[in-house]
Every structure is written in C-alpha cells, then in structure tokens.
Amino acid sequence: MTSETKPFKLFSTLALRNVLKALAPDIERVTGRQLEIDFGATVQLCERIRAGSRGDVVLAVDSAIDALSGEGILTVGSRVDLVSSDIGMAVRQGAPRPDISTLEAFKATLLATPSIVYSQQGASGIYFASLLKRLGIEQAVASKATILHEGLTGEPVARGAAVLAVQQMSELMQVPGIDIFAKLPAEVQQSTIFSLGVFAQSTETKAITDLIALLHTPAAIEIIRSQGLDPI
C-alpha cells in the first residue's frame, strides 16, 4: 500500500466520537487520506497500542499521551491539548431528577438510588470509583452498581436497566432517551483533558499539522462545544 492510498489512522477516546464523526469529511479533505478511527476507552486504547497496534495519531487522556511518549511509542513533545470535559449524571428521559445540589445531597442520592452505572476503564469511571472510596460509600454503591467494561453508560439507563448514569458529558450526550440533569458538584468535579499525540513512526507530518489546525477552526470549536466539551 503506497502512502497515497493508505488510510490516515487515528485512535480516539469515546469522549470525542461524535466530534470526529462530524468532522470526518473535513479530516479526510485536509489530510488527503481515507480516515480510519479506532474508538475505545483510554485504557483499552493503550492496551491495544502497547500490544502493537499503530497509526498516525492518538486522542486520549493527557496522562496517557505522556505515558506512551515516555515509552517511545509516541513522539516526545508532540502532545497538543485539545479539550477538557466534566463528568455528568443522567437519568432516563422523563424520570425524576435527583438532588445533587450540595455535596451531602449528592452523597445521599448515591446511597438512595437503586442502581448506578459507570465505566470501568474510562477516565470518568476510574475517577468516580476513587470518589466513592473517598466519600466512604464504596461498598454501599458497589452492591448496586453496574460497571461497564466498555461503552456508554447512558445506554442501560435509556432502556431502563439502570437508574443513574455517570460519565463524561460528551459521552452521555451520545445517548438518546436520557436526561443529563447535572454535572458532579463543584467540590468533587474533575475535569479531564484530552490531548493529541503523534506516533513515533508516522510520516504524515503535513497531514497531522493540518488536522491540528482543523481542530482549532471556529467550525470545529462550535462542534466541540455542542458535544459538552470545552476547547483548549
């Protein structure tokens, strides 16, 4: 396969899936390549990459980009911070909205809600698990929690299999049939930075430069904001 016909390969966190789908035609235009995207939670992406999967760029949590750069898989110094994302909570469309207006109300809601779903390997789920431990309610919530190995936590809530979903705002926004009623309280909110890193063996220097420029255009920023993300 020649450089003119090989796809432009991108690994991306699920948090940016809708953004990249909306921008896919523009990415193909500026890179001059057919776009191939491998989506997954950051932990899963890193597992696949460390097992030998390669491409041109990775969009993932900033700490993962730094780790892969330190291992020589990504080019040191290639990291570009793109967006930040807050963690939100959602119930099924039309269901009562729980009270999380204060930290105590938030804690009481987690204890009173009969079923909660969060992710196992996404940045939001890893943080939420640590938060439950910090609040001293880890065991109480664990007994009624569904922890997804991968995917969107809003989907079980939309079909009535769980009451409360916790995930990045942009990932919750990908699921129809749910009501994203709030972000985590400010005292316990954690914003996640998603960054771009370049594979060390990629030769698509101009295409990558043009992709980064595209992601900073007003049109791209509008799409980013529409998906619950804050451009950096």
- pLDDT by residue (tens digit) across 59-102? 999 999 999 999 999 999 999 999 999 999 999 999 999 999 99
What is the rounded distance in angstroms from the CA atom of residue 27 to the CA atom of residue 208? 10
pLDDT tens, 17-64? Answer: 999 999 999 999 999 999 999 999 888 999 999 999 999 999 999 999
Q: In which band, very low, low, confident or very high, does the pLDDT at 122 lie, cut at 50, 70 and 90?
A: confident
124: nearest Cα among 148, 140, 92: 148
Query: Are 194 and 146 contacting, i.e. CB atoms less than 8 angstroms apart?
Result: no
- What's the pTM value of the predicted model, to 2 decimals? 0.86
Proportion of the chain above pLDDT 90, given as a percent: 91
What is the third-level CATH fold of 87-188?
D-Maltodextrin-Binding Protein; domain 2 (3.40.190)
Burial call 51-88: b when 16+ CB within 10 Å, e when fewer: eeeebbbbbbbbebbebbbeeebbbeebbbebbebbbb
Q: Which helix (H) or strand (E) holds 153?
A: none
Which residue is associated with the tokens 């016909």? 5
**DSSP classification of residue 188:** G
Q: How confident is the model over 6-20, as pLDDT tens digits?
A: 899 999 999 999 999
Q: Would you state the pLDDT for residue 2?
A: 45
Of 13, 64, 82, whose CA–CA distance to 230 is shortest? 82
Given a cut of 50, whether residue 123 has pLDDT beyond it is yes
Mean per-residue pLDDT for 176-203?
Answer: 95
- Residue 4 is predicted with a pLDDT of 59
What does 4-36 look like in DSSP terms, one character per residue? TTS-EEEEEEGGGHHHHHHHHHHHHHHH-S-EE
pLDDT tens track for 138-187: 999 999 999 998 889 999 999 999 999 999 999 999 999 999 999 999 99
Whole-number Å distance between alpha carbons of 167 and 90: 9
| Assigned CATH topology for domain 8-84+193-231 | D-Maltodextrin-Binding Protein; domain 2 (3.40.190)
* Contact residues for 32 (Cβ-Cβ < 8 A; gap 6+): 207
CATH 3.40.190.10: which residues of the chain? 8-84+193-231, 87-188
Distance between CA atoms of 192 and 165, rounded to whole angstroms? 18
The residue among 187, 143, 186, 189 whose CA lies nearest residue 166 is 189
Asked if 70 contacts 79 with a C-beta cutoff of 8 angstroms, the reply is: no
1 falls in which pLDDT band (50, 70, 90)?
very low
Residue 91's DSSP bridge partners are 179
